[in-house]
Homo-oligomer: A and B are copies of this chain.
Amino acid sequence: MIRRNYIFAPGPVSVPPQVLAATAKPIIHHRSADFDPLFQKVSEGLKYVFQTTNPVVIFASSGTGAMEAAIVSSASPGDRVLSLEAGKFGERWGEIAQAFGLNVQRRACEWGKAVDPNVVAEELKQHPETKAVYLELCETSTATLENVKAVAEVTRNTETLLIVDAVSGLAADELRMDEWGVDLVGAGSQKAMMLPPGLGFVAVSAKAREAIKKSTTPKFYFSLEKALKELEKNTTPFTPAVSLLFGLEVALDMIREEGIENIWKRHARLAEASRRAVRAMNLELYSKNPANTCTAVLAPEGIEGGKIVKALKAKGITIAGGQGPLKGKIFRFATLGWYNDYDVLTIIAAIEEVLAELGHKFQPGAGVNAAMEYLRQNP
């Protein structure tokens, strides 16, 4: 078979060729009139993806930079904040808040389960001074969907901000920022936005904006206050990553054409087909509340998870292993962003091949058939 490379990791994702081509356009000067229509278009277009009428700031950074911006711009040293940590990425927000001297309550939650909104309600009752709650949309390390809507119901009529890390979840798992009442949402470019890595996004509610005015945490590059002020003038405080914005323009056109709700449905359908395939291959899902962003699978007894990742890699197929305590215990694959039914068949077929080679017992073809059947019956 002619070797081709496939990326089925939960980010970075395959970038559509028309987006790649746009990123190679000749550079324009970001402090000239050439830049204005591009920046206005992508800034407006992003609002649709976040389902908000509020401004969305764009940083030249990874998704982590976007989350740092959300944290350092919305609180002051010593402020009590609640970090809900049910995986590797949830832990990162606690680490950032600690690095900047916030009084962060790092609540370790059970991995692979959604956080109980009552935990938040209880905390806010006892500590109404809590400045912000940090939550994932999708906890990528466990492929688990959090219940952002339910937590937002707890925070929305309080002084407390809800800050959501949607780095991997944006445009894959449902997120209605304004309708649900989320205050700050951070994301990155290399996931369902279908771009190369290098852009960080932060959407900012009116409530968050008020908090930002009062924040005294030291910051410069990641100051949302500065970025919002410049955004009003249709520009950025520092040099933007122009070529990635060319790509963003094309990706946003694709998103608008398909429709964000259709995109969520597509991800849900491809993820459900993947989950059915997993079970049909005699495997177990790791998460009790799986996200549509990616699928985490328990490695079968006697087979180290990393071996599955490595064997797929030898075929040119990139997926991800487990992180932290899940290292070797799970493997994770995504159908995230620019993916369709045939991509599901590709990754499931490849997993079948590898599992057979590694001696896992299952009916050959069962995975592919289960996925196909579900996709056929749920067009």
Please name 7 further chain A to chain B contacts, defined as beta carbons within 8 Å, in addition to the given A5-B26, A12-B239, sorted by A numbering: A7-B29, A11-B239, A12-B29, A14-B27, A24-B24, A60-B198, A62-B241
Interface size on A, residues (CB 8 A): 55
Contact at A99–B218, with CB atoms within 8 Å?
yes
Chain B's nearest CB lies how many Å from the CB of A332? 12
A210-224 residues at the B interface, CB under 8 angstroms:
217-222
**Residue A278 at the chain B interface, CB threshold 8 Å:** no
Does A34 make an interface contact (CB < 8 A)? yes
A14 to B13, CA, bound (A): 29
In contact, A64 and B238 (Cβ under 8 angstroms)? yes
Q: Which of A302-326 contact B (CB under 8 A)?
A: 313, 318, 320
Residues of B within 8 A of A31 (CB): 9, 320
A190 contacts B by Cβ under 8 Å: yes
Contact call A243/B198, Cβ cutoff below 8 A? yes
Q: Does chain B have a CB within 8 A of A178? A: no
**How does the 8 Å CB contact mask read for A53-69 relative to B, with 1 for contact and 0 for none?**
00000001111110010
Whether the pair B242, A30 counts as a contact (CB closer than 8 A) is: no
A65 contacts which of B64, B101, B238 (Cβ < 8 Å)? B238
Residues of A within 8 A of B (CB): 5, 7, 9, 11-15, 20-21, 23-34, 60-65, 68, 95-96, 99-101, 188, 190, 196-198, 217-222, 238-244, 313, 318, 320
Task: Determine which of B33, B95, B99, B318 lies in contact with A34 in the assembled complex, contact meaning CB atoms within 8 Å.
Answer: B318
Which residues of chain B come closer than 8 Å to A30, judged between CB atoms? 12, 197
B-chain residues with CB within 8 Å of residue A62 when the two chains form the complex: 60, 221, 238-241
Which residues on the B side are within 8 Å of A68 (C-beta)? 220-221
Q: Can you list the 5 inter-chain pairs with the closest CB atoms, starting with the nearest?
A: A198-B241, A24-B24, A196-B243, A62-B239, A64-B238
Within the assembled complex, what's the spacing in Å between the Cα atoms of A370 and B64? 52
Q: For residue A13, which residues in chain B have a CB less than 8 angstroms away from its CB?
A: 27
Q: Are A7 and B27 in contact (CB under 8 A)?
A: yes
Complex Cα spacing A99 to B72, Å: 12
Of A25, A26, A60, A101, most B-chain CB atoms within 10 Å: A60
A241: B residues at CB distance < 8 A: 62, 196-198, 241, 244
- Residues of B contacting A11 with CB < 8 Å? 239
Do the beta carbons of A198 and B244 come within 8 Å of each other?
A: yes
Which residue in chain B gives the minimum CB-CB distance to A223?
Answer: B99
Contact A14 B26 (CB under 8 A): yes
Q: Quote the shortest CB–CB distance from A229 to chain B (angstroms).
A: 15
Find chain B residues with CB under 8 A from A242 CB. 12, 196-198
Report the bound CA distance from A368 to B220 in whole Å: 43
How far is A192 from B13 in the complex, measured between Cα atoms in Å? 31
> Are A27 and B15 CB-contacts (below 8 A) given A238-B62, A318-B34?
yes
